[in-house]
Structure 1
Amino acid sequence: MGSALTSIGLPVALGIIMFGLGLSLTPRDFARVAKHPKAVIIALVCQLLILPALCLGLVVLFQLPPVLAVGMMLLAASPGGTTANLYSHLFRGDVALNISLTAINSVIAVFTLPLITNLAIWWFMPAQDELGVQFAKAVEVFAIVLLPVLVGMLVRWWRPGFAERMDKPVRIASMVILAVVIAGAIVSNWALLVENVGRLAIITVVFCLCSLALGFFVPRLFRVEPRQAVASSFEIGIHNATLAIVIAQTVIGSMEMSLPGAVYGVLMFFVALGWGFLIRRLVPVAAAAA
């Protein structure tokens, strides 16, 4: 991938995706948290605390090279996205809860993503002092993640009819852009990918399955309603792989670090689909609820 695509194309692509997310959000999506505080708190604890610890355990177990290990931790720190909302809709989850969790996680990720990434670099790559997300780069993360979302929300407030008409085209564009971003990351790092494809494919599939299961069974353990547990499962199990790729390549400046996100971005669609059908068999009431 050329430098222009990396430095300009990737942030623009992610900006369109996050703008599309903003078009689907309203202030009510943040206020809705008060109606389901237990479901939201449990999901956030899983997302922000348990999941990074789980990912760290997998990285150590699979003995990934340091740069790929940091890439996995960056992926674990990335919030859910609109794809999680789509899967939740397909398998009768509480989509309103999904949207609220996506909104909250996108805000929190501005702080937690640099923190987790820097800790991972300190742990796995202590000699690489030039890498990491310093203050200036953290501001860049804020601009990449939140500003397009805020613009999308303003457009929805200012021109709700336009926002409704643009929802489907932006979603389609987001999927196309995601495919281009992932393909570019894979092509640019083909040799390294071939060398590690076995380990990356296995660990990303295991990570995705563990994330989905964590997001479903932990809320159910605390008696969260089935539809909300389904929403939590997809929100925690489906990460914004594009964000992880963009942060790795443009903010940190490591093409290799983006590989776990690229491999995950391809495989998670199939893993999440299979998980959705399994949930329907395990929890018929969740599948049957309107």
Structure 2
Amino acid sequence: MLEIFQEIDSVRLNFSDEGKMMLNATIAFIMFGVALELKPKDFIKLFKSPKPALVGILSQFILMPLLTFLIALSLGDFITPTIGLGMVLVAACPGGNISNFMSSLAKGNVALSVSLTAFSSFGGMILTPLNFAFWGNLYIQTYSNQNAVGLVRELNIDVLDVLVTILIILGIPLVAGVLFNLKFPELTSKILKTIKRISILAFIAIVVIIFTKNLDLFLTYIKYIFLLVLVHNALALTMGYFTGKAFRLNKTDCKTISIETGIQNSGLALALLFNPSIFPEDMAVGGMAFIAGWWGIWHIISGLTMAGFWSGFSLSKEEETAPA
């Protein structure tokens, strides 16, 4: 198995500079759409009802990277360090833009989901580079295979470079979206649904284009990446749910925290991977790209599946509105 993943690492994806620009523009547009939904009251809710929000932040930004680190280490010599780093990179990213829709479909706490999106979108600008730098380097340093030594020398995560990239892709669109919403609230309410639909379709289109341009590679290696992402994502969703249970949150909040933990902004991970100032072009990151790319497709499938399952839960009114 290790030999297969070494082959995947050495793969160079067919993705042009124009494609990279389209990816960055798409992520920026998605975040602009996310920001159109954010209002000052969403941040205020974090302070008015802090327990569910703090549990969600704990699950997404602390436990998710820790879980991923332990999964990657437990696989030992079955995966390459680059594959493990791909998992860590996805885990370090903020929540995905479809989590609010998934929470609504799952009959979760949509207000909590929006509040967590507000925090993760802005907080991720700092926490994503810090988490990836910390857990990525810790993973490489403790990796059992001596082949990791070469990667240790190559992996010099510049937190500032990652931060600048995230500020451009996330920060500027987020601020622009919030200001647009405050300045033109009526227009925002009219275009919001359309922009959300376009955002989701645009991201799916970009991921599909990446895989289409690399169809032969995808068909050759997907069976190996598929199982890895499936297990990783399933454990993330499970951990998020039971983290909420451990803090005695109601089922509605637990479902939301599960979705917020399992739905990651893998598009941002791809954007970072294709930035040569962060990952030099001569660095073998094929495995990381496959992990991030397939996660972007799979978390939509798993999220819809779990939301559909949970929407059948018959919760009493008392349980739905149970205080934290």
**TM-score where L is the length of structure 1:** 0.90
Match for residue 90 of structure 1 among 105, 118, 122:
105
How far did residue 264 of structure 1 move? Answer: 1.1
Would the aligned equivalents of 1:15 and 1:148 in 2 still touch at CA under 8 Å? yes
CA shift for structure 1 position 266: 1.3
SS of equivalent residue, structure 1 residue 82: coil
The residue that corresponds to 1:271 in the other structure is 302
Give 1:171's aligned residue: 196
CA shift digits 1:130-180 (9 cap, x unpaired): x53341342221221121011001000000011111212211211121112
Q: Which of 27, 32, 35 is the aligned partner of 1:14?
A: 27
Structure 1 equivalent of residue 278 of structure 2 = 252
Q: Residue 30 of structure 2 contacts residue 199 of structure 2 at CA under 8 Å; is this kept in 1?
A: yes
> Deviations along 1:96-145, whole A, 9 cap, x unmatched?
1101101111122112211222235434331214x533413422212211
Q: Which runs of 5+ in 1 are unaligned?
A: none
Q: Does 1:65 align with 2:80?
A: yes
Aligned residues: 288
Aligned to 1:4: 18
Contact kept, 8 Å, 1:186 with 1:259, in 2: the verdict is: no
- Which residue of 39, 47, 58 maps to 2:52? 39
Q: C-alpha separation between the residues in 2 aligned to 1:216 and 1:170?
A: 30
CA distance in 2, matches of 1:100, 1:261: 25
* Contact kept in structure 2, 1:74 and 1:117, CA below 8 Å: yes
Q: 1:283 to 1:113 in 2, by over 3 A?
A: farther
Tell me which residue corresponds to 1:76: 91
Give, in angstroms, the shift of residue 76 of structure 1.
Answer: 0.6
Q: 1:70 to 1:195 in 2, by over 3 A?
A: farther
In structure 1, which of residues 217, 223, 236 is the aligned counterpart of residue 261 of structure 2? 236
1:224 is paired with a residue whose SS is coil
The alignment status of 1:101 with 2:102, answered yes or no, reads: no
Percent identical across equivalent pairs? Answer: 23
Which moved further from structure 2: 92-101 or 234-243? 234-243
TM superposition shift of 1:265: 1.4
Amino acid in the other structure paired with 2:121 = S
Structure number with greater Rg is: 2
Deviations 1:173-220 (A, max 9, x none): 111211122123324555654554223211211122111111112112
What amino acid is aligned across from residue 268 of structure 1 in structure 2? H
Once the two structures are superposed, the pairs formed by residues 150-229 of structure 1 within 5 Å of their partners are 150-187=175-212, 189-190=214-215, 193-194=218-219, 196-229=221-254
Whole-angstrom distance in 1 between the partners of 2:108 and 2:51? 16
Q: How does 1:108-127 map to 2 (within 5 A)?
A: 108-122=123-137, 123-124=139-140, 125-127=151-153
Cα deviation, residue 39, structure 1:
0.7
Higher helix share: 1
Contact 1:71 1:248 in 2 (8 A): no
Counterpart residue identity of residue 34, structure 1: F
Structure 2 Cα separation of the partners of residues 229 and 223 of structure 1:
9
Equivalent position of 2:174 in the other structure: 149
Following superposition, the deviation at residue 221 of structure 1 comes to: 2.2
Q: Is the 8 A contact 1:181 1:242 kept in 2?
A: no
Distance between the aligned counterparts of 1:121 and 1:221, measured in 2? 28
Cα RMSD over matched residues?
2.4
What letter corresponds to residue 269 of structure 1 in structure 2? Answer: I
Cα-to-partner distance string for 1:78-108 (whole Å, 9 max, x where unaligned): 1113311001111211111101101111122
